[in-house]
Structure 1
Amino acid sequence: MGKRRIGDRSDGTQIRDIDAMHYVMPLMYPNRCDNEAYMKVSVDITKTEDYIKKYNEEHPDNRIAIFDIIIAAMLKTLRLRPQMNRFIANQTMYQRNCITAAFTVKKEFRDDGDETLARIVAEDTDNLESISFKVREQIAKCKVEDDESTDAMNFIKRLPAKHVLGAVARYLDRHGWMPKSVIATDPYQCSVVLTNLGSLGMDIGYHHLMNWGTNSIFVIVGTKKFKPFYDKDGNVTMKRVIDLAVTLDERISDGFYYGRSLRLVQKLIENPELLEGALSKEI
């Protein structure tokens, strides 16, 4: 990352050589929630499940799950496809300075069980093994203590004049001036937010983006199921699949770039051995 210039933020570098269309779109359509594109990816996990079984037999103390592979695949795609790691704030487009993933952890599986927020920061040298370790570490931590953002929100909750506080917070957020203690584990300040509905036995839905924060990608992971696949002769084969529902900010890139990026995600999940190398390793 080069020297910070006027117009840059602490979490992103302003894109100055942007084409005219992507320069104008944030001016015409300033709200992220008004510019959502929805895409669905069906992933054949036949080989993936075989890989997980073999991996866990060989690493009984460091087991992995399919959610780990999906997170690693998203992070590697963000590393190799940099437009996927951009965001728009205050009608300006930025390249994010780091690659992060966030997900919610339910402390107890009860209706009144508390939720807390987990956040993973990816390094170029990370691979599936290290990312899986970070996921396990975050889940274990979240089960026993609150995250920094939750602590900050609990403090804010006790303050008066909530509407004034809200207006100030939105202004600070728009300019990238929110205190780090408040947004330390805020999922909507991350590259990608993931939620694993499959772990609850639920199929995919679609989740909206937020005007708050900088997050431009939301991924819902559905339940595993069998689905028919047809070859060119019309023969049917039932395959084990998992569906991903992806919400994107369409102002950032075009459908061709997004489509190729999601095909890369699909390829990485279907061939998890490609995730054994560093995130920065080209595919």
Structure 2
Amino acid sequence: MRTPLRRRDGRLVTGIPDERAIMPFIMRRRNESTVYFEQLVDITAAQDWIERWNAAGGPRLSLFVLLLHEVAGMLHARPRLNRFVARRRLYDRDGVYLSFGAMKEFADNATLEMIKRRFEPDESLGTVVRSLETAIQQARAAGVASVDKELKLLLSLPVPLLDIAVAVFHWLDARGLLPSSLTSSDPMYSSAVVSNLGSLKTDAAFHHLYEHGNCPLFLVVGSCRPAPVVHDGRIQIRQILPLRWTFDERIEDGLYAARSAELLRRRLEDPIGNLGLPEDAVDSASVREEL
């Protein structure tokens, strides 16, 4: 069977260097291709920006939602990170999709609902805030999700049949033959999964990638902590946010990935240079909402 030029979720990348094209044949699975790296981001200015945004009457903004907005912006600006490997070939994804979890309550046995959202280029922060607030509320208020019902049905099968069903699913997926109804809401068919451990007041972990799906990036956000840093030539106590990345090296080289992560750091550390004054951004968001 010939490699499809177009899948429902992406388009075949052509003209790539030979050393990039051979990688999926040498490193055949996602977890033998992973690179782990850490960023420590000074979010003192971002926290101040968020506080001013909220005080100016903008829709309630959190650091995590700002981070999601900036990760999406980074992926739009650095599109070679928004790729995936399928059947040993490299594909450009058809859009920027981020997945993240929302717990229904902070308890040991609480259900974690996964949310997947498409982020459009140049989408306003106000639009993102309102959309995610609605999505989180709906996820927490919903009963049994359709994906959970499908899982219960699969798990009711005898083990040999379940093995066969999963194998057929992956065989069809590798060839781009799965209907979008089976993948459109699956969080593992996304540009990146972003996990907010900071909301649980815990440190960030390095997470594995999933062989299921085609997501090549996993970002774990830790808890903010004060730390001494050199700022404006002086040692100051600043608020530091740890970000820990897991990256499928087959989609792009380490230099491109490192420069992309550096772009995200600059966006977060200089929110005024990136987004403008928060009061102006709130006014702009209000005008768009009225229109």
| Percent of residue pairs bearing the same amino acid type | 28
Partner residue of 1:259?
258
**What amino acid sits opposite 1:169 in the alignment?**
F
Confirm whether residue 246 of structure 1 aligns to residue 245 of structure 2: yes
Q: How many angstroms does 1:147 deviate by? A: 4.0
Q: How many angstroms does 1:176 deviate by? A: 2.7
Partners in 1 of 2:199 and 2:231 — Cα distance? 31
Confirm whether residue 14 of structure 1 aligns to residue 5 of structure 2: no
Partner residue of 2:124?
127
TM-score by length of 1: 0.90
Q: How many angstroms does 1:232 deviate by? A: 10
**What amino acid sits opposite 2:115 in the alignment?**
A
Say if 1:38 and 1:245, in contact at 8 Å, map to a contact too.
yes
Partners in 2 of 1:176 and 1:154 — Cα distance? 25
Cα 1:128–1:232, aligned 2, differ >3 Å: closer, same or farther? closer
Say if 2:115 and 2:139, in contact at 8 Å, map to a contact too.
yes
**What amino acid sits opposite 1:187 in the alignment?**
P
Partner residue of 1:191?
191
Partners in 1 of 2:231 and 2:54 — Cα distance? 33
Q: Which piece of structure 1 moves more, 88-97 or 108-117? A: 108-117
Say if 2:8 and 2:180, in contact at 8 Å, map to a contact too.
no
Cα 1:275–1:192, aligned 2, differ >3 Å: closer, same or farther? farther
Q: How many residues align?
A: 272
| Unmatched 5+ stretches in structure 2 | 285-291
Q: How many angstroms does 1:153 deviate by? A: 2.1
Q: Secondary structure at the match of 1:41?
A: strand
Partner residue of 1:79?
76
Partners in 2 of 1:105 and 1:127 — Cα distance? 22
User: Alpha-carbon deviations, 1:165-189, whole Å to 9, x = none?
Assistant: 1111221222233333332321110
Confirm whether residue 48 of structure 1 aligns to residue 46 of structure 2: yes
Q: Provide the aligned C-alpha RMSD in A.
A: 2.1
Q: Which piece of structure 1 moves more, 251-260 or 202-211? A: 251-260
TM-score by length of 2: 0.87
Partner residue of 1:281?
none
Cα 1:184–1:158, aligned 2, differ >3 Å: closer, same or farther? farther
Q: Secondary structure at the match of 1:48?
A: helix
Q: Which piece of structure 1 moves more, 157-166 or 240-249? A: 157-166
Partners in 1 of 2:164 and 2:184 — Cα distance? 22
Partners in 1 of 2:81 and 2:75 — Cα distance? 6
Partners in 2 of 1:56 and 1:230 — Cα distance? 29
Partners in 2 of 1:200 and 1:91 — Cα distance? 38
Confirm whether residue 89 of structure 1 aligns to residue 86 of structure 2: yes
Partners in 1 of 2:18 and 2:107 — Cα distance? 50
